[in-house]
A and B are shown apart, each in its own frame.
Chain A
Amino acid sequence: EAQVTQNPRYLITVTGKKLTVTCSQNMNHEYMSWYRQDPGLGLRQIYYSMNVEVTDKGDVPEGYKVSRKEKRNFPLILESPSPNQTSLYFCASRPVGVSWYNEQFFGPGTRLTVL
Chain B
Amino acid sequence: LAKTTQPISMDSYEGQEVNITCSHNNIATNDYITWYQQFPSQGPRFIIQGYKTKVTNEVASLFIPADRKSSTLSLPRVSLSDTAVYYCLVGDREGRRALTFGSGTRLQVQP
The chain A residues found within 8 Å of chain B, CB to CB, are 4, 31, 33, 35, 40-45, 48, 50, 56-59, 90, 92, 94, 96-97, 100-109
Contact = CB atoms under 8 A, between A and B. Distances in A.
Contacts of A96: 94-95
A58 B95 CA distance: 11
B95 A109 contact: no
A42 B102 contact: yes
B95 A90 contact: no
A26 to B, nearest CB: 16
Dominant SS at the A interface? Answer: strand
Contact of B98 (A59, A92, A103): A59
A59 B1 contact: yes
12 contacts: A40-B103, A42-B103, A43-B44, A43-B87, A44-B100, A45-B100, A45-B101, A96-B94, A97-B94, A101-B91, A104-B36, A107-B43
A101 B98 CA distance: 14
Interface string B20-41: 0000000000001010100001
A42 B101 contact: yes
B73 interface: no
B47 to A, nearest CB: 10
Dominant SS at the B interface? Answer: loop
Contacts of B93: 101
Given A90-B43, A106-B43, A109-B42, A45 B49 contact: no
Interface of B: 1, 32, 34, 36, 41-46, 49, 87, 89, 91, 93-96, 98-104
A90 B99 CA distance: 14
A87 B104 CA distance: 17
Contacts of A109: 41-43
Nearest to A41: B103
Given A41-B103, A42-B103, A109-B42, A103 B95 contact: no
Given A90-B43, A107-B43, A109-B43, A50 B101 contact: no
A58 B43 contact: no
Given A45-B100, A100-B46, A102-B95, 16 more contacts: A41-B103, A43-B44, A43-B87, A45-B101, A48-B99, A50-B94, A58-B98, A58-B99, A92-B43, A101-B32, A101-B49, A101-B95, A103-B46, A103-B49, A106-B42, A109-B41
